Structure 1
Amino acid sequence: MATNMKAWRLEGIGGKLSLCDVAVPEVRAGSVLVRVEASSLMSYLKAYAEGKLPSYHAPEMPFTPGGNGIGVVHAVGRDVWHLKVGQRVALSSHFAATENVRDPAQILIGVTSFGPESEAVQADWPDGTLAEYALMPVSAVTPVEGLNEFESAQLAVLSRCAVPFGGLLRGRLTAGETVIVNGATGAYGSAAVLVAIAMGAARVVAAGRNADALEAVGRAAGTRVVTVRLEGDVQADAESLRAAAGGGAQLAFDMVGQAGEPSSTLSALSALRRGGRLVVMGSMTVPLPVSYMQLMFHNLEIIGNFMYPADAYRRLIELVRGGLLDINPIVPRIFPFSALPEAMEAAAKAGNLECVVLQP
């Protein structure tokens, strides 16, 4: 085995990003060393690397950034019993401490920590997937079985589906229900439409303001999808959503990114049936002014959710293998490993059904 590898290294958020020769990580207890075959890029990776996202907390020392990916197990450490060398696996950036405590710390490996307790976790697992090899905690690695017909670059788009899958699970989406996806013109919102169909939604109302992106996701997802172009008037948009949902939806999933005003979220809330649930999973930058009386009289729930459970990738893979989740509408744009700067530019501008992938 080679002792050195190529890896992208970032000297702290806003620091220098360089392609370097570094030592291949050594496996340790509870870890898996993976030869990375494809790494999906976050749309905001360029802004993150340039220090324009102050809410993110990266490791203080130089580290390898990167989120989720696909690879092949190269070596396993002690206390790893099921994963085997040679298996193709999916890599998740979301990792929560596995100790049996009330509130385990969590991080996004290669991206950010969330406070003092998670900084200690991040210090143990600082490096992400933008390298030829990635050392990962075993609970962040999922076998990819029965999908030999897919190239690793196509499977890398599962990272786009994992986030909304977590929110739809949290919202208790049940087969036969109608769900409104607010922000369906964005990357994760478009994936949410595909995932909701796979989970058995009878109807998905895809809502957003970009007519072309709405048309694209409606065409990709099939006949159970109805699109609604939002105009910004809370009451009028709520009426349009309610009509498209056949009198109201049981679930609304909000995935609007960096929303500077709450009108579309409030419209989705008002389009729910009695007893409906709203899952908020986007990144609104202003408060959400909800009506106390509206929530009470209509028995509504507002549910916050961050990321997805540890078994999300396994369950998504089962949906793909069973023919329920079609990931082909999300097209990977593949860049060579040396072209990370160009790939980050492309990721920032990618369409809602594009996923930029870096391949070593």
Structure 2
Amino acid sequence: MKAAVLKSFGTPLVIENAPEPVLGTGEVIVDVAPDIALQGLTAAGAGGMLLQKHFRHGSFAERMRVPTENVKRLGAITSEEAAQWCALGTLLVPYGGLLAANLQAGETVLVSGATGNFGSAAVSVALAMGAACVVTPGRNETILADLVRRFGSRVKPVKLTSNEDDDREAMKRAAPGPIDCVFDIMPPSVSPTVVRAAVMTVRAYGRVVLMGGVGMAGGAGLELPYPWIMRNCITIHGVWMYPPDAASRLIALVRSGLLRLDDYKTTAFDLDHINEAVAHAAANGGPFKLTVIRP
């Protein structure tokens, strides 16, 4: 079969013939459609490394081997729809966080990092799950305006100023009532004061979900006042990715019409143009944009 192979870091991918994957116990062979994958990025502990070694080849090929429990049925889709279904790879990340937050219909959510790729996905997922209002702080006014254009008056944008106290009060004022849940997915480059300003908008007995990267690239970590957490009975939940049943549940949200994939603009490349696809993805990142490979 044809596959794109990385021979060494810093070099272009090479298209070559590779052996067909061999079916093992508890595994399936799938024909690869458009691709978004975390495979090969992280492995926590010795067990994770064993899995990475066994399932070491990703989906830049015509077929790949995956564990049976990781395969979920999409149902019938057309070739034209296939590229947009790749958005599940992005949407599943914030969906996992909002499930952990036990988001309920009618609640108010604040998405810290709303103008980023995963943050914008969190806005769409929260609304699909029934959030009455999503507060969207950020510095990029163009993206903030685009979120309002896409999703309407349930989105409440807030332009950040870098003053922690002022920003916190502005976020509170933007919400029509108490903020029930704060979802943070800020990148490592962001100052922890920006994250703290958002986190501390949550109401008493509220929930905070941390899925971002503050402190992961060095520098100061997130500091929150112990008395504020304790006296307000704040629940803080760190979340890595999503539970096993999240994919099936998110597919159901799409099938119901509550979560729309047509917000995503997709650009597809065939496998022979894999390096052009990589260059395109690097130059065209951002909210609601997908670069996909169609072998």
Deviation at 1:140, TM superposition (A): 1.0
Q: Are the aligned partners of 1:275 and 1:301 in contact in 2 as well (CA < 8 Å)?
A: yes
Partner of 2:208: 278
Change (3 A) 1:239 1:247: farther
RMSD across aligned positions (CA): 1.8
Number of equivalent positions: 290
Q: Are the aligned partners of 1:247 and 1:273 in contact in 2 as well (CA < 8 Å)?
A: no
Per-residue Cα deviation, 1:208-255 (whole angstroms, up to 9, x for no partner)? 111111111221122211111211111111111111112431101011
Q: Are the aligned partners of 2:4 and 2:271 in contact in 1 as well (CA < 8 Å)?
A: no
Q: Are the aligned partners of 2:3 and 2:271 in contact in 1 as well (CA < 8 Å)?
A: no
For 2:80 and 2:125, locate their aligned partners in 1 and report how far apart those are by CA, in whole Å.
18
Q: Secondary structure at the residue paired with 2:18?
A: strand
More deviation, 145-154/26-35: 145-154
Partner of 2:230: 296
For 1:39 and 1:147, locate their aligned partners in 2 and report how far apart those are by CA, in whole Å.
15
For 1:11 and 1:217, locate their aligned partners in 2 and report how far apart those are by CA, in whole Å.
40
- TM-score of the superposed pair, with normalisation by structure 1: 0.76
Query: Is residue 30 of structure 1 aligned with residue 31 of structure 2?
Result: no
Partner of 1:335: 269
Change (3 A) 1:13 1:305: farther
For 1:339 and 1:163, locate their aligned partners in 2 and report how far apart those are by CA, in whole Å.
28
Deviation at 1:260, TM superposition (A): 3.6
Change (3 A) 1:179 1:149: farther
For 1:274 and 1:12, locate their aligned partners in 2 and report how far apart those are by CA, in whole Å.
52
Deviation at 1:9, TM superposition (A): 1.7
Q: Are the aligned partners of 1:258 and 1:283 in contact in 2 as well (CA < 8 Å)?
A: yes
Deviation at 1:343, TM superposition (A): 2.0
Greater share of strand: 1
For 2:49 and 2:79, locate their aligned partners in 1 and report how far apart those are by CA, in whole Å.
39
For 1:324 and 1:34, locate their aligned partners in 2 and report how far apart those are by CA, in whole Å.
28
Query: Is residue 208 of structure 1 aligned with residue 133 of structure 2?
Result: no
Task: Give 1:8-47 correspondences, 5 Å limit.
Answer: 8-11=4-7, 13=9, 17-40=13-36
Per-residue Cα deviation, 1:258-294 (whole angstroms, up to 9, x for no partner)? 2341122111112111111111111123300111111
Unmatched tracts of structure 1, length 5 or more: 41-66, 68-92, 94-108
Greater share of helix: 2
For 1:259 and 1:304, locate their aligned partners in 2 and report how far apart those are by CA, in whole Å.
19
Which residue identity lines up with residue 193 of structure 1 in the other structure? Answer: V
Deviation at 1:187, TM superposition (A): 0.7
Q: Are the aligned partners of 2:12 and 2:275 in contact in 1 as well (CA < 8 Å)?
A: no
Q: Secondary structure at the residue paired with 2:262?
A: coil
Partner of 1:70: none
Pairing partner for 1:181 from 87, 111, 120: 111
Deviation at 1:112, TM superposition (A): 2.7
Q: Are the aligned partners of 1:217 and 1:353 in contact in 2 as well (CA < 8 Å)?
A: no
Which residue identity lines up with residue 272 of structure 2 in the other structure? Answer: S
Partner of 1:77: none
Which residue identity lines up with residue 242 of structure 2 in the other structure? Answer: Y
Deviation at 1:174, TM superposition (A): 0.8
Partner of 1:316: 250
Deviation at 1:146, TM superposition (A): 5.2
Which residue identity lines up with residue 264 of structure 1 in the other structure? Answer: V
Partner of 2:259: 325
Q: Secondary structure at the residue paired with 1:345?
A: helix
Deviation at 1:313, TM superposition (A): 1.4
Deviation at 1:19, TM superposition (A): 2.0
For 1:12 and 1:254, locate their aligned partners in 2 and report how far apart those are by CA, in whole Å.
35
For 1:150 and 1:239, locate their aligned partners in 2 and report how far apart those are by CA, in whole Å.
45
Pairing partner for 2:128 from 182, 195, 198: 198
For 2:6 and 2:79, locate their aligned partners in 1 and report how far apart those are by CA, in whole Å.
35
Q: Are the aligned partners of 2:13 and 2:274 in contact in 1 as well (CA < 8 Å)?
A: no
Deviation at 1:141, TM superposition (A): 0.9
More deviation, 340-349/229-238: 340-349
Q: Secondary structure at the residue paired with 2:125?
A: helix
Which residue identity lines up with residue 123 of structure 1 in the other structure? Answer: K
